[in-house]
Amino acid sequence: MTAGFSPALVSGWLNTLRTTGNGGAAYSAVAGTYVQLHTGDPGAAGTTNVSAGSTTRNSFVFNSSSSGSALALATPPSAWTNGGTSETLTHVSLWTAASSGTLLGSGALATSKPWGSADTFSLTSLGVSITPQAA
């Protein structure tokens, strides 16, 4: 998987377009959103290249979406502290829980970040958009 929405999330959204009698169902909002750090593409399951410096998923909250985009964090995740390994962060994955949970998707950082032992890393912006949209 190159970065993107998980197939399970997209299928849930698309199933809301089906009529109730033909298997359609409402898609419920997730109870929480969490972000995890990666040193490469997280893969289809979101479990590849998990940062050795911190395997913690930190919670965050998006602002309300507008025009198909949620471009800012209403509540950004707490900073991560590297627990003892030097590496380069390249991707994040988004989840519904602090552990286990459902993968929502993944994305590449705008710029890779060298991350040394005992350094901190803060994610100050995170945008998600769905395109194309009718004008």
- The pLDDT assigned to 24 comes to 72
Query: What does the pLDDT look like over 18-45, one tens digit per residue?
Result: 777 777 777 788 889 999 999 999 999 9
Residue scoring higher pLDDT (132 or 78): 78
- The pLDDT assigned to 115 comes to 96
Residue 128 lies in a domain: no
Residue scoring higher pLDDT (100 or 133): 100
Residue 18 lies in a domain: yes
Residue 44 lies in a domain: yes
For 61, how many CA atoms within 13 A lie in the half-sphere containing its CB?
5
CA angle 115–33–106, rounded 5-degree value: 55
Residue 56 lies in a domain: yes
- Contact indicator for 37, 89 with CB cutoff of 8 Å: yes
- Contact indicator for 18, 24 with CB cutoff of 8 Å: yes
Query: What does the pLDDT look like over 106-133, one tens digit per residue?
Result: 999 999 999 999 999 999 998 888 877 7
Residue 51 lies in a domain: yes
Residue 134 lies in a domain: no
Which H helix or E strand runs over 109? strand 103-115
Structure tokens at 126: 């995170």
In the predicted structure, residue 10 carries a pLDDT above the cut 90:
no
- Contact indicator for 59, 34 with CB cutoff of 8 Å: yes
% of the chain residues with pLDDT over 90 = 56
The reported pTM is 0.87
Gap between the Cα atoms of 78 and 45, Å rounded: 24
Residue 9 lies in a domain: yes
pLDDT band of 48, cuts 50, 70, 90: very high
- Render 33-65 in DSSP notation, one character per residue: EEEEEESS---TTS-TTB-SS--PPEEEEEPPP
Could you list the residue range(s) of the whole structural domain that residue 67 is in?
A: 4-122
Write down the mean pLDDT value for the chain.
89
Counted domains in the chain: 1
